[in-house]
């Protein structure tokens, strides 16, 4: 989540609306919530602008949707912001990044990958995901060769939850993208913070806003026998509602002819919510769906909608199994048949 400052200036029509209905000044709260964002604080101003609102939003695309006019007659100006301690820290460090490291497809790197991943993240999996259950693991029994694994995204705990649901043969040959400006910066202190260690653990750098070029390296990995983990929403959801999917997984699946395995992760948000550093143990379940394969001439938008529906249906199944009463926003209203839990990583 990123921080933004929203400056609102009432039009002449907006002044009349606010005078007659003062409650409409809170309308921005609903607009932000609809974008899976959160209002941090609000102020009325005495000056050029009438209102100042501090918000957290998933990305610049959401901020763009919030900009411009509003239904209550106000013009909005959106300014991206970062906190001062972070700004001061960035001034004192390089923005130069490393990677990708193509040696991560070598036999020795693949052999070391599970151990490196355990050291950085896996220990938290055992400590906080209690109990941990995988349902539908039988869909992975006959799966061979490169595949794309996708899931909903609600927490930093999503990655280990998905990773440890995979059979051992895939843990040796699976990689996930990480923000280059966070995980692959040169000169950070500590071995586990080094870009080469991130690559050893199965990550590869993605440049924010990199466009279609961001898929070049994942395509190369697939060509060399690697599978890919992608969270198609592109950011973590605060509400639990499944957000709009980006087209990356569909482009990879159609262009490379590899299957996509939809998955649903339940319980990770309760262990560590978005924006929180505190963690509490709790149950986590992983619902695995049937692999989806697309014909070479499949339209990318159609493929993306198919994947979204598949993950959404798994969410309904998972929450029905757990007896979770669905919210309207999460759109999980239908019950499904119960299944016996599979062994972890079967």
Query: Omega into 74 within 30° of 0, i.e. cis?
Result: no
Both 273 and 305 in a single domain?
Answer: yes
Both 73 and 121 in a single domain?
Answer: no
Per the domain annotation, does 338 fall within a domain? no
Q: In sequence order, what are the residues at sequence separation of 6 or more whose Cβ sits closer than 8 angstroms to the Cβ of residue 72?
A: 14, 17, 18, 24, 25, 27
CA atoms within 13 Å, Cβ hemisphere of 293: 6
Q: What is the pLDDT of residues 217-261, one digit of tens each?
A: 999 999 999 999 999 988 777 667 888 899 999 999 999 999 999
Per the domain annotation, does 93 fall within a domain? no
Per the domain annotation, does 137 fall within a domain? yes
Per the domain annotation, does 342 fall within a domain? no
Both 203 and 131 in a single domain?
Answer: yes
Tally of domains in the chain: 2
DSSP-derived secondary structure letter, 276:
-
Q: Compute and round to an integer the Cα radius of gyration of the chain.
A: 22
- The reported pLDDT for the residue numbered 330 is 41
Residue 343 has pLDDT above 80, yes or no: no
What mean pLDDT is reported for the chain?
84
Both 142 and 31 in a single domain?
Answer: no
Both 139 and 29 in a single domain?
Answer: no
Both 169 and 291 in a single domain?
Answer: yes
State both tokens at 217. 């390296």
Both 81 and 108 in a single domain?
Answer: no
Residue finishing a domain among 88, 114, 148 = 88
Residue that the structure tokens 């490291």 belong to: 101
Both 152 and 257 in a single domain?
Answer: yes
CATH number of the CATH domain containing 215:
3.40.1130.10
Both 133 and 38 in a single domain?
Answer: no
Closest CA to 188 of 63, 89, 122, 121: 89
Per the domain annotation, does 144 fall within a domain? yes
Q: What is the pLDDT of residues 279-327, one digit of tens each?
A: 889 999 999 999 999 999 999 999 999 999 999 999 999 888 887 665 4
DSSP 36-71: T-EEEEEEE-SSS-SEEEEEEESSHHHHHHHSEEET
- The reported pLDDT for the residue numbered 89 is 67
Residue 341 has pLDDT above 80, yes or no: no
Q: What is the pLDDT of residues 145-158, one digit of tens each?
A: 999 999 999 888 89
**Structural domain of 232:** 102-322
Collapsing DSSP states into helix, strand and coil, what is residue 137? helix
> Do 129 and 157 contact (CB within 8 A), yes or no?
yes
Per the domain annotation, does 97 fall within a domain? no
Question: How much of the chain exceeds pLDDT 90, in percent?
Answer: 46
* Cβ atoms within 10 Å of 276's Cβ, excluding its own: 12
Both 292 and 178 in a single domain?
Answer: yes
Ramachandran bin of 187, using left for φ above 0, alpha for ψ from -120 to 50, beta for the remaining angles: left
Q: What is the pLDDT of residues 175-207, one digit of tens each?
A: 998 888 778 888 778 888 899 999 999 999 987
Both 153 and 290 in a single domain?
Answer: yes
Question: What is the CA 241 to chain-centroid distance, rounded?
Answer: 12
Taking CA 177 as the corner, what is the angle to CA 219 and CA 330, rounded to the nearest 5 degrees? 110
Per the domain annotation, does 328 fall within a domain? no
CATH number of the CATH domain containing 24:
3.30.70.1060
Question: How much of the chain exceeds pLDDT 70, in percent?
Answer: 86
Both 116 and 83 in a single domain?
Answer: no
Per the domain annotation, does 344 fall within a domain? no
């Amino acid at each position: 989540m990123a921080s933004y400052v929203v400056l609102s200036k009432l039009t002449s029509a907006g002044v009349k609306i606010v005078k007659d209905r003062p409650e409409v000044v809170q309308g921005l709260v609903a607009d932000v919530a609809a974008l899976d964002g959160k209002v941090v604080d609000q102020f009325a101003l005495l000056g050029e602008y009438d209102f100042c609102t501090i918000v957290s939003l998933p990305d610049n695309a959401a901020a763009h949707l919030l900009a411009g006019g509003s239904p209550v007659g106000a013009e909005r100006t959106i300014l991206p912001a970062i906190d001062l301690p972070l700004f001061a820290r960035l001034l004192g460090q390089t923005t130069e990044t490393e990677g990708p490291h193509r040696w991560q497809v070598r036999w020795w790197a693949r052999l070391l990958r599970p151990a490196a991943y355990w050291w950085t993240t896996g220990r938290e999996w055992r400590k906080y995901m209690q109990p941990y259950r995988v349902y539908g693991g039988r869909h992975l029994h006959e799966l061979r060769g490169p595949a794309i694994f996708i899931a909903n995204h609600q927490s930093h705990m999503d990655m280990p939850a998905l990773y440890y649901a995979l059979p051992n043969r895939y843990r040796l040959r699976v990689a996930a993208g990480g923000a280059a400006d966070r995980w692959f910066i040169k000169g950070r202190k500590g071995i586990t913070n080094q870009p080469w260690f991130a690559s050893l653990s199965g990550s590869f750098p993605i440049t924010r806003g990199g466009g279609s070029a961001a898929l070049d390296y994942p395509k190369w990995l697939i060509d060399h026998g690697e599978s890919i983990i992608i969270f198609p929403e592109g950011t973590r959801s605060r509400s639990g509602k499944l957000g709009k999917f980006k087209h990356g997984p569909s482009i990879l699946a159609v262009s490379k002819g590899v299957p996509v395995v939809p998955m649903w992760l339940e319980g990770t948000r309760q262990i560590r919510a978005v924006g929180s550093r505190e963690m509490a143990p709790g149950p986590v379940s992983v619902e695995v769906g049937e692999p989806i394969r697309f014909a070479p001439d499949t339209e990318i938008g159609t493929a993306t909608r198919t994947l979204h529906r598949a993950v959404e249906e798994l969410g309904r199944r998972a929450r029905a199994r757990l007896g979770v009463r669905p919210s309207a926003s999460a759109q999980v209203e239908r019950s499904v048949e119960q299944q016996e839990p599979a062994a972890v990583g079967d």
